[in-house]
Structure 1
Amino acid sequence: MSTWDEFVAGHAVGDVVTARVEKVVPFGALLTVDAGFPGLLPGAGALEVGTHVPVRIAEFDADAQRMRFATA
């Protein structure tokens, strides 16, 4: 089982996880969870790069091994 598979097996849509803000873009923020997998938090405004924020997993994209987040 890959690390991605292990992460998905241990988490579900709706779970709250901590993610690091990697980049703020016009349409949201690009985040990375501690396991190293990226995701998008749409519409995120006043976040600072390098900070850690609690987010809710809204969707898994297994093909791209990334997630979409929602505010927690």
Structure 2
Amino acid sequence: MSTSEPSAAETTWRSWLSERAAGGVLDGVVVQQLPFGAFVEVAPGIHGLLVTNRGAAPEAGTRLSVRIERIDVERRRFSLVTA
């Protein structure tokens, strides 16, 4: 049985997650606009999906406050809504 060290990305994710919870408000920058929302970077290398139900997603480079709506620990994903 072999044991492997977590990757740098996994370590960054675990560290970030240990200080966050659903409902928390963060500041972020839109890094990619999509037809249904945008990816927002809330910490170096940590991106969440901002889903926009109405209107267009904010453009890349836009700074905004977001609230963590849901965290999927196993898949290392989280969804955001505007705060």
Shorter-chain TM-score: what band?
A: 0.7 to 0.9
Q: Superposition RMSD on alpha carbons, in Å?
A: 1.8
Aligned to 2:64: 53
Aligned to 2:38: 29
More strand by share: 1
Task: Extract unaligned runs of 5+ from structure 1.
Answer: none
Q: Percent identity?
A: 36
Q: TM-score, normalised by structure 2?
A: 0.74
Corresponding residue pairs, total: 72
Which of the pair has more CA radius of gyration? 2
Q: Could you list the per-position Cα deviations for residues 20-52 of structure 1 after superposition, in whole angstroms to 9, with x for gaps in the alignment?
A: 101111111111112321111111625121122
Task: Extract unaligned runs of 5+ from structure 2.
Answer: 1-5
Write the distance in 1 (CA, Å) between the matches of 2:56 and 2:75: 25
Q: TM-score, normalised by structure 1?
A: 0.83
Which AA in structure 2 matches 1:10?
E
Question: 3-state SS of the aligned residue for 1:53?
Answer: strand
